[in-house]
Amino acid sequence: MTRVLFVCLGNICRSPTAHGVFLHKVSRSGMADLIEVDSAGTAAYHIGKAPDARATAAAARRGYDLSPLRARQAKPVDFQRYDYVLAMDSQNLADLRDICPADYQGHLGLFLEFAGLSGAEVPDPYYGGDAGFERVLDLVEQAADGLLQRIRTSR
């Protein structure tokens, strides 16, 4: 089993979008029994809350269901469970590095690396309009395809 954790600040916009998109792609690839997907936030602002309604609506327009997801906070124990811990931006990556055990053997990095966009960040759409959520989906879909391909070839 390969386990993937997507992480943003509050776990209500970017990381649940990545979670829902990647889970959908994993299911369609026939690899649902081989890949586990989750998401979390580095901050505790929204623990237990559903994804942002704008993120949920944008995802639904493309056929992704975020409604079952609930926010949680990333914890050091996550590094014992997940093979890939993927941050949406460099600040969240830095926050994850602060809690990452020194002996972690998995992949800790930026999610957009898998879209061939080294050093690029998924922009936070929270304070913007609908176009920001669509842009997040565009980037997440591209990176999700790359990540799925990486996992497929590494098996």
Mind listing the pLDDT tens digit for each residue in 66-93? 999 999 999 999 999 999 999 999 999 9
pLDDT one-digit tens code per residue, 95-112: 999 999 999 999 999 999
What are the structure tokens assigned to 125, written together? 């759409």
pLDDT(153) > 90: yes
Domain that residue 13 falls in: 2-154
pLDDT(155) > 90: no
Q: Is the pTM of this model over 0.85?
A: yes
129: CATH: 3.40.50.2300
**Phi, psi for residue 3 in degrees, rounded to 5:** -115, 135
Q: Which residues are known catalytic residues? A: 8, 14, 124
Number of structural domains (the chain) is 1
What percentage of the chain reaches a pLDDT higher than 70? 100
